Amino acid sequence: MSAFTVIPSSRAALPPTRENRHLIGGSWRDSVDGATFERGSPSHGVVVSRSARGGATEAEAAIAAARTAFDDGHWSRISGKERASLLLKVADLIERNVERIALIETLESGKPITQARGEIAGAADLWRYAAALARTVAGDSHNALGEAILAVVLKEPIGVVSIITPWNFPFWILSQKLPFALAAGCTCVVKPSEMTPSTTVLLGELLIEGGLPAGVVNIVLGYGQPVGSTMTAHPAVDMVTFTGSTVVGRSIARTASDSLKKVALELGGKNPQVVFPDADIDGAADAVTFGVYFNVGQCCNSGSRIIVHEDIAADFTARVAALSSRVAFGDPLDPATQVGAIVTAEHNARIDGHVRAARAAGAEIVVGGDRLDVPGLGNQFYQPTVLRNVTSEMAIAREEVFGPVLTVLTFRTFDEAVTLANAADYGLSAGVWSDDAHTCLAFARQARAGTVWTNTWMDGFPEVTFGGVKQSGRGREIGRYGLEEFLEVKSLVMRVGRTRDPWVRAA
């Protein structure tokens, strides 16, 4: 199959290059040395933004500002009601600025404008849910320790939090972390990816407009070295939360261990969907197609690995291949586009390398398997790709490709399906498709994954927590557990009256 649905350049008018600066202690600053960096659009080839390039000096200043803001109590010790009120204002401001934020995110990341709009609008709901949680922080009391003792377990903000976010969902992932940290009473230093800095800066503008006290949220732009490493190692930082690759996550965990600070990691995935013969085949095929091509497959939750019963494998694969040819690839600024550009030319080459290595190892390309040319926009796109005759020993079945590439494995028995699903080092998400509730529940209990979807894929809600096991990370985001990540537990033991027996007896 070689015919794809390609949407050429819409020739849309592009905004002028955006200028970004650091937000430190409530003021916008250039770098001390005047250094800057540029981000070019992966789809349109223009310079989208020019940003101040921070170093250790800027990172340390931001950490100091967050430390001062936390310790003075202007945020950490105010009521949950007051924190909630500000978070709700920010949610309203996000909704008013969806179009402005979505446009810059599309140009910097290459994702379709419709998906960017959904991401930004959905993020407002995360802020509202975090606002609701701000008023629910509560501990425990112990009233059965004897008439002389009353004990209370308190939950307090952990302190200064370093937040390091990736390029694939820059606004959404920040909104999975920042409002929950703020709801808990923490102060923060944020470093967005150097490839998508602008939407984080835009959020900083909204935080100031909403009335956030100076120093509570600080933004430092730049690269992992030295900005991210400083934010990870600094002794004044109490916690690091990071979303990105497993390789970088391991490095952060090692560095943070020197000061024994808390670390939360949301890392990679090689997420399986298991399809049984009694499943809704049409619904499953459509969901699988969505799961692998959403955000160009550049998604930790990408359903990049399907495990299909051998009785239906040929038919199911053919259906997914046919749907793949109808998915609209092309200009991210065209509302009809479903799949946009690969984030960098280097990453596009890595995706292609994975596919070529799989083919050399014996996998068969059903559809795609090469770069995709889009008229007027070049070839920083990749064809929708489906590979069959894949075995669990192949690298393509175990390693995260982070692109629009689907691998097909087959199984005969339930136990074999579970074994294949759990074979990867990752454990972020898994899915099961069957009309038998017993099959779905049995699989869900045995799958080693932080989230298991049954007869759906990638449905998410602010109330339902998210995170992985194994090499997919540690800790949880969103939901009530997402708030708990930013809280420290303190026990308070009180003696009632002068009831304590003396340790030293009177002479």
- Residues marked active site are found at 266, 300
Picking from 386, 408, 402, the residue whose alpha carbon sits closest to that of residue 323 is: 386
Measuring CA to CA, which residue among 427, 484, 436, 430 is closest to residue 458? 430
Per-residue b or e along 273-310, where b marks 16 or more CB atoms closer than 10 Å to that residue's CB: bbbbeebebeebbebbbebbbbbbbbbbbbbbbbbbbe
Asked if 490 and 154 count as a contact pair (C-beta separation under 8 A), the reply is yes
Rounded to whole angstroms, the Cα distance separating 381 from 474 reads 32
Residue in 94, 98, 458, 140 with CA at minimum distance from that of residue 292: 458
- The token duo for 243 is 């979303």
CA-to-CA dists, residue 162 to 176, 215, 250, 307, angstroms = 14, 13, 16, 38
What does the H/E/C string look like for 157-182? Answer: ECCEEEEECCCCCHHHHHHHHHHHHH
DSSP state string for 467-492: --EETTEES-BSHHHHHHTTEEEEEE
Q: What is the DSSP string of 168-220?
A: SSHHHHHHHHHHHHHHHT-EEEEE--TTS-HHHHHHHHHHHHHTPPTTSEEE-
Looking at residue 506, the DSSP 8-state letter turns out to be P
